[in-house]
Structure 1
Amino acid sequence: MNPKFRLVSLVPLICVAALAGFTWWLLQAVQPREHEAAPRALTHTPDYFADNFSVSELDQSGATQYRLTASHMVHYEDDENSDLTNPAVRAFQPGKPIVTATGLRGTVNGDASIVNLYDNARILRAAGAGDPEMQADSEHFRVLVNDDVILTEKPVKLRRGLSVMTATNGMNYNNVTRVIQLYGNVRGAIAPADSGGSS
């Protein structure tokens, strides 16, 4: 038999053997090692924190629409939520008074669309456009940033100018329409000077 023919006939066999060897090596490279631990499950533990935290949301023109600030923020890895110390949410609308919601502590979800404010929670709308200052106090307020709504299920005390109202089952404040809804047993006194204005 011609030695040249024998060598040429071995080339496909060598190629198949090389391909099998490369496939085995690739399989070993991508398989997890037996001694390697499985990926760690996420737990509700802090993974980072920030002092004097501030984040702003801008409208399409680039103007600030909302700003969330806190003196301290702790972020958790499992649910992407954060705990806040001395949080404040400010809503800015062209031509309308600034609305500020604060608390001694709070939480914010991962995309900053829901902010919960606790302990001496307060909403303060500055006076403007013929409306007096408005202030609401409660144990808890939830700010729905995307809906521009602030609500609570807790008892609330509302002061608008010289008028004072209380509600046992909470309130809903729509910052777009400037409408306030009070729930439960509602009591109070509306001052004559405040009876003709909008909320």
Structure 2
Amino acid sequence: MNPPLSWLPSRRQWLLGIGFTLSGALAWWQIQIHPDEVAPAGQRARLPDYVALNFTALETDANGKPSRRLVADELRHYVAEGVSELSQPRLTLFQPDGPPWNARSEQGIVLAGGEQIRLSGDVRLDRQGDRQTRATHLETERLDVWRTQALAETDLPVRIRSDGDVLTAKGMRLWYAEPMRATFQGRTQIRFAPEPETKP
């Protein structure tokens, strides 16, 4: 004997059941992928107030010319902490004369209302050469960029390449605006590239 139709779930009940099952599976998957983001009992999970994907911000000077541009795959802002976390940030520091500095890293944090940007994880800072300056390529694991001082600094090992010359140091302070200058911390080593041979 066939059961009465009232015992069979309706289409809506089927859809609700499937939805609850998928929601539970998704929550379990998120916990397995990001176990560190699960708050202990009695504590609220640390969640951003808002998230922006494919984030881009352009800052201009008093004359309306670009002074710096920040791009990131994702920005997560925490209002109470006053910080924004960045994924795959790219920072361009424009110069009044000459090519800009271009920085990139794996992660970043915007602090002090944008006054300080901390780049971390495989940080690269590059500037193309022109008629007056040589191309420069810098590598480190963390770099703090300060807007007002036009300063980029790190207390971690840094490696700088320029036209075959290589400089290594335990830390660095680089004032990237003109007139550009830098100081290095700890033991600093410089290896000069051999001069090209000239034909007699």
| TM-score, structure 2 as length reference | 0.71
Unpaired stretches in structure 1, ≥5 consecutive residues: 1-41, 194-199
Query: How far did 1:110 drift?
Result: 4.9
The residue number in structure 2 matching 1:126 is: 128
Query: Equivalent residues in 2 for 1:11-30 (5 A)?
Result: none
- 3-state DSSP of counterpart to 1:46: coil
Query: Equivalent residues in 2 for 1:31-180 (5 A)?
Result: 45-168=47-170, 170-176=171-177, 177-180=179-182
Q: Provide, for residues 133-187 of structure 1, a one-character-per-residue CA deviation record: whole Å limited to 9, x for no partner.
A: 101100100000121110100001111121101112x101111221121110111
Q: Provide, for residues 79-134 of structure 1, a one-character-per-residue CA deviation record: whole Å limited to 9, x for no partner.
A: 22011001111111222211011111110025211100011001101111332210
Question: Contact (CA 8 Å) 1:156, 1:171: kept in 2 or not?
Answer: yes
Query: How far did 1:70 drift?
Result: 0.6
Structure number with bigger Rg: 1
- 3-state DSSP of counterpart to 1:111: helix
Instruction: Give the AA of the match of 2:113.
Output: D
Moved more, 136-145 or 180-189: 180-189
Find the aligned partners of 2:45 and 2:114 in 1 and give their Cα distance: 21
Instruction: Give the AA of the match of 1:58.
Output: T
- Give percent identity, aligned residues only: 27
Alignment root-mean-square deviation, CA: 1.8
Change (3 A) 1:52 1:116: same
| TM-score, structure 1 as length reference | 0.71
Moved more, 184-193 or 71-80: 184-193
Aligned residues: 151
